[in-house]
Amino acid sequence: MNIPKPQLNKNTSQLQQHVEIELTRYFNALDDLSDATSLHKMVMDEVEAALLRFVMTKTNGNQSMAAGILGINRNTLRKKLAQYDLI
């Protein structure tokens, strides 16, 4: 199956471009669309885990600072860190 390449323009962020490129690769690698299950969860888990690792590294593990940067409550951050085995 060949999914058309995403139409990228100057208003598309680099992050969005990378996501669209990877989604195109993912779908092109599928034999059948029915093989694509729980796509939202898969993408969110991958992106959220990477985001948490990156911010925790940038803040030298300071959870209060990381929570502030992410715009979430520190307790929510701790739950997410535990969810992805990052603490």
Model confidence pLDDT, tens digit, residues 33-87? 887 888 899 899 999 999 999 999 999 999 999 999 999 999 999 999 999 999 9
Q: State the sign of the Cα–Cα–Cα–Cα dihedral 53, 55, 57, 61.
A: negative
Which residues, other chains included, contact 55 with Cβ-Cβ below 8 Å and sequence gap of 6+? 66, 69, 70
> What is the Cα 38 distance to its own chain's centre?
14
Q: Put residue 7 in one of left, alpha, beta given phi > 0 → left and psi -120 to 50 → alpha.
A: beta
pLDDT value, residue 4 = 56
pLDDT value, residue 57 = 98
